[in-house]
Structure formats: structure tokens, C-alpha cells
Structure 1
Amino acid sequence: MTTHKTGTREEWLAARLALLKEEKELTRRSDELARRRQELPWVRIDKEYRFETDEGNASLADLFRGRSQLLVYHFMFGPDYTAGCPSCSAIADGFNGFVVHLANHDVALSAVSRAPLAKLQAYKRRMGWTFPWASSFGGDFNFDFNVSVTEEQQRAGTVEYNYQPSRLTVKPKAGGEKPPDGAAKGAAMTGTDVATYARERPGMSAFALEDGVVYHTYSTYARGLDGLWGAYQWFDRAPKGRNETGYWWHRHDEYNKG
């Protein structure tokens, strides 16, 4: 017997209509926030970023692939990782399906990571992905957009992430504080230690290209990525919601192992 509240169809409908009113308010608010994102001032990028892609060496403008807009997913895959971050992988599982729709509406999508291109290509083959993925190995792109930190920054203890100071807890402190459980599991699943794993962070950035000039228009991090994680939008509508008790997800080819 369920312990969840039950009721008649009439009681359910009354509650559902009340919720629908609030859902519509949230939708209107979301539309307004989208409009305000698009009204943010654009920042001209004069720095010459270089990337390695399947087609060869590329500039940031090249990543637009003939479109006027570019969305970059900052995928956690550091140079020392043996595999991509599992949570980033879960988000990226949806890219193959909608990248063609974006491309045919003047928007290019590309993942960018610091790992060398050969590692990214091998992981793409393993995951069965075909979306563009560029390597920023050896460059400043990830650091400038606050999704990677240096060992020196890490040792100093605080860096900026999600527009605020962010402390990197990578080893036990005197009081016995340990790294977050997710960091330890993420490190193990990417073949690194916690410190190495924690030098990469997830995020997404948007860019515009006009008259040969690239502009930075938007970036978001942390929970700001929830809307891009397609599975979570489905979980939020499931009877038990996200129903999470920790770092539960795996890469899509790992669920039936062991």
C-alpha cells in the first residue's frame, strides 16, 4: 500500500488545475528571463583562441561553422582524464539529436574540453556521438571562461566559479572534512585523483559572430545547466522526481556492467 497521498479523480483535477496555473506563471517568467539573456551586452573577443578539431586547427570563429551563433558546452575532460566526466556525458547524450536542428536555425553547437583531440575522438567513438567537439589543449580558453583552474589557483584555495568565490575542497582538512562524495566518485570514474578532477568545472557559453567579430553573449554554470540536462526535465515530471541519494548516474554504456 502506498504511503503517498491519494484522492479521487475530482480531487486530482482540482489540484492539477491549481498547479497548472503556477506552471503557466513559471513559463511566462522563463520567457521573460530568456528575453533578458538576449538583451545582455555583448563583449567583443579580441584574443586569438586556437582549437584542434576533426577538420584541423581552428579559431573560435571557425567553430561557428558558417552560422552567426555558437553555443559551447564546457565538457569536463581534462588532459589527465582517461574518460569524460559522467555527468557531462549524461548531458551530452542529448546533443546528437538536436545539434542538426540548431545548425539549421543558424546556431552551431560544439563541446570544448582541455584534453588532447585524440582522447576526445576516442571517447566520442565509445559513446557513439557525432556532434562537434574541439580541444582547447594548451590554450587559455577554459581558464578565461572560468571552467578550468591551475594547480597554483587550486593550492591558493579559492577561485571564481558561477560568478562567486568557490572553494575547492580536494583533500581532508585538519578537522576531518573530506571532499564531496560526488568529487571522489567523479575522480574515480575519470581515472584521476580528486585534485586533478576538481580542476575542471562544467558550464556553457554563447557567442555571436557579426562582420567577422566574435562576441561573448552569455555563460552559465552549476545549476544553471539543469535545463540543458534533458533527462532531468523528464525526472522532474516523474512520480518520484529526481529521487537522488548521491552521485548515482553512469555513462550510458556502464549501467549493465557488473
Structure 2
Amino acid sequence: MSPSDQNGTKREQPAMHTPPVVSPQDWEAARQELLVKEKAHTRARDALAAERRRMPWVAVDKSYVFEGPAGKLSLPDLFNGRRQLIVYRAFFEPGVFGWPEHACRGCSMVADQVAHLSHLNARDTTLVFVSRAPQADIARLKRDMGWQMPWFTITDSFDADFGVGEWHGTNVFYRDGDRVFRTYFINNRGDEQMGGTWNYLDVTPLGRQEVWEDSPEGYPQTPTYKWWNWHDSYVDDAPPDQKWVEVSDAGEAAFRNQQNP
């Protein structure tokens, strides 16, 4: 069906120059050829994440105040007891296109991508959104859009100080006792990849915390796959479920046999 303009008149689309149609064997050969490049891309992405984990940190010595559903909070409070904090600056405030019914369309698309937060929490990581809108408006927006992430109100120069005063962006922080450090920042098209658990963990200083990762000495790491759980079944400091360990071990063994027949 041809698309229509605003008056309902059908518009003819230019012909698409589609790829050739080939046999299943030729299609599989083409897939395998591309797979070599895709695997190289994956390895390069892992290497970049390893380099990111070795980036220098900068101490955050200034105090910041946010408004939450229960009142005022500091930046350390936003960690909610965890060591890592990811802060996305979403534009929802007077003057933003969509106000007051909606947040920025781009920021709303980011919010729609956010995976279940329990998986990040299980890796000692908290994700929050921050905006300049009052808490009452944020609560209404979250309810209307079905969003679950913690969302706080900026009350001071936090946005200007961390590169998100005029544009969206994701800041990453690490807490060591009472000290907070800024470890990473990503914005522009870099924010497009955010939303999935793995992409969030890959921008944190501790990474996915699995044994295959190239991380600095002493960083926390646990056996690959073993910490995974249903999002309603994580228990702090609980050992991996033995049945799941057996299932994941069998899966890894089958994959290795397939790769090395």
C-alpha cells in the first residue's frame, strides 16, 4: 500500500533496489561471510569496554541536591546503597516540546528501551533518570507511560556541571564509601545503544563482572551466566542456583562442541 500525504492522497514511492534473491546455500554462505565481520565487531566492542574500565576517574567534591518522592536526596543517596550509578538526563520541564503531557520525544524513546532494573541491581548498579520537572509531574508521566525507573528532580547545577544542561546524556559514577567519582560520560548517538542490561553494564567501571572480561586486577568477577536470574527472584548475596549452574554449563559445553567438532 502506498503511503498517503496529509490530505489522504496516495504518494508513489520510488522503486527500491533490493538485494538479489538467492538459494538457501548461497544465503548461508553470505551470512557466514558477514559473521566473520560481526564477530570482529563484537571483539572490538569488548576490547573498548575493557579500555573504558581503565579510564581515569575524577572526584566529585561538590554537593548536589535532588528532589525525590520522599524528599531531598544527595548524589550519594541516588546510589541506593550500591557501588555504581548511571544517571540519564531526560528533558521533561517547561519549554520542552510535549510539556506537560509528555517528555522530549527522544528522551521518551530512551525511557521506552530500559530493561528490567533488577538485572542491573544484581550487578551492584543503580540506574536513575533526572529532569527539572517537579516530582508531581514526573510521577504522573511515569504512571501514564508505564515507566518504572527512579526519576529525580534536578534542583541545582548538576546538569550544567556534567554536560547535560542543554542536551541529553548519560553519566556514570562510582561510590567508594563517602567518596563519589565520575567514571564515564556518553551522549549524542552514543545514547542510542543504551537501554539494554549489557550496554549499561559495559559503560560502568566494573563492567559485566564476569570472568571472561579483561578487567583490572582485583575487580569483582563471577562465573559467566551463573548470576542470571528471573527478575523477580534475585536475592542479595545468594549463591547461584545449582540447577541453573548445571543448565548453563551444559549449554556452554554444547556450544564449544559445535564450534570445535
State the TM-score, normalized to the length of structure 1. Answer: 0.65
Structure 2: distance between partners of 1:3 and 1:14 = 22
1:219 to 182, 185, 192: 185
**1:179-210 superposed Cα distances (whole Å, 9 cap, x missing partner):** xxxxxxxxxxxxxxxxxxxxx41110100000
By how many angstroms is 1:100 displaced?
1.4
* CA deviation string 1:127-170 (max 9, x = no partner): 11121001103x1001111211xxxxxxxxxxxxxxxxxxxxxx
CA distance 1:79–1:36, shift in 2 (3 Å) = farther
**Equivalent residue for 2:220?**
none
- 1:204 paired with 2:221, answer no
Q: Give the corresponding residue for 2:141.
A: 123
Which residue is 2:86 aligned to? 71
Please say which of residues 79-88 and 31-40 is displaced more in the overlay.
Answer: 79-88
CA displacement 1:189-232 (0-9 Å, x = unmatched): xxxxxxxxxxx4111010000021000000000011121156xx
CA distance in 1, matches of 2:52, 2:94: 32
Tell me which of 25, 28, 49 is aligned to 2:40: 25
Conserved? CA contact 1:110–1:134, under 8 Å: yes
Q: Which of these residues, 125, 131, 153, is aligned with residue 107 of structure 1?
A: 125
The alpha-carbon deviation at position 98 of structure 1 amounts to 2.2
* Corresponding position of 1:146: 163
The answer (yes or no) to whether the contact 1:114–1:142 under 8 Å persists in 2 is no
Paired position in structure 2 for 1:60: 75
**How many pairs align?**
178
Amino acid paired to 1:53: G
Return 5+ residue gaps in structure 1 as ranges. Answer: 149-199, 234-258
Aligned to 1:166: none
Query: What is the alpha-carbon distance in structure 2 between the residues aligned to residue 61 and residue 79 of structure 1?
Result: 27
Task: Tell me if structure 2 keeps the 8 A contact 1:90–1:229.
Answer: no
What code does the residue aligned with 1:145 have? F
Mapped pair 1:92 → 2:111: yes
Q: Which amino acid aligns with 1:31?
A: D
Check whether the contact 2:68–2:152 (CA below 8 A) recurs between aligned residues: yes
The structure with higher relative contact order (CA 8 Å, sep 6+) is: 1
CA–CA separation in structure 2 for the residues paired with 1:37 and 1:74: 21
C-alpha separation in 2, matches of 1:43 and 1:98: 29
Unaligned runs of 5+ in 2: 1-14, 200-261
| Contact 2:110/2:192 (<8 A) preserved | no
Measure how far apart 1:3 and its partner are. Answer: 4.7
Q: Which TM-score applies when normalising by structure 2? A: 0.64
Question: Which structure's CA Rg is the greater one?
Answer: 2
Give, in whole Å, the separation in 1 of the partners of 2:35 and 2:60.
43
- Aligned letter for 1:135? T
Aligned to 1:238: none
Q: In structure 2, what is the equivalent of residue 16 of structure 1?
A: 31
- Percent of aligned positions with the same letter in both sequences? 40
SS at match of 2:116: helix
